[in-house]
Amino acid sequence: MTSRRRPSEQARPLPIPIPPSMNETIESYLRRLAVVNHVSYGTLQRHLGLDPARLGLRIRPGNLVRLVAVTGYSREQLIRTLPQLSNRHTDTARLADWPRPACPACTNRHRGGAVTRYYPSYVHACPKHQICFSGG
């Protein structure tokens, strides 16, 4: 008889959890998480139950349970900061439907490399550092 495990039991927590940046793309967050924990992006995707061969990331409920288990952040925290989990990035009244690199000065405090996030369509420069975003 084989025992069926829940998805959260199959996913082991990473040794170094890092918080997602506000309005960060899932891909950006997973890439930074992989870098900080010294694993490949593809390995992390497989650990989360995602198919590295597929184009575009789609986090299903089972994958979200694994992401919660791996990072230690609650489902609500991840949904609030990663707009793709709730489709907030398609709400053009709030955010433009295309991600852009974040201000390097603002994201220096985020470990793991550059951050890509969704911004409102009218934002083209960092209000704090007055640095223009590329692709805006």
Residue 136 pLDDT: 47
Mind listing the pLDDT tens digit for each residue in 12-28?
Answer: 899 999 999 999 999 99
DSSP state letters, 14-27: PSS--PPPTTB-HH
Side-chain-side CA neighbours of 84 within 13 Å: the count stands at: 21
C-alpha atoms less than 13 angstroms from C-alpha of 58 in its C-beta half-sphere: 5
Q: Kindly indicate the confidence band of residue 78, based on its pLDDT and cuts at 50, 70 and 90.
A: very high
Give the C-alpha separation, 21 to 18, whole Å: 9
pLDDT over 90 at 66, yes or no: yes
pLDDT at 8: 46
User: What pLDDT, in 10s, does the model give residues 42-55?
Assistant: 999 988 988 777 65
Q: pLDDT tens digits, residue range 79-136? A: 999 998 988 877 877 888 789 999 888 888 889 999 999 988 888 888 888 888 755 4
Name the residue with higher pLDDT: 33 or 56.
Answer: 33
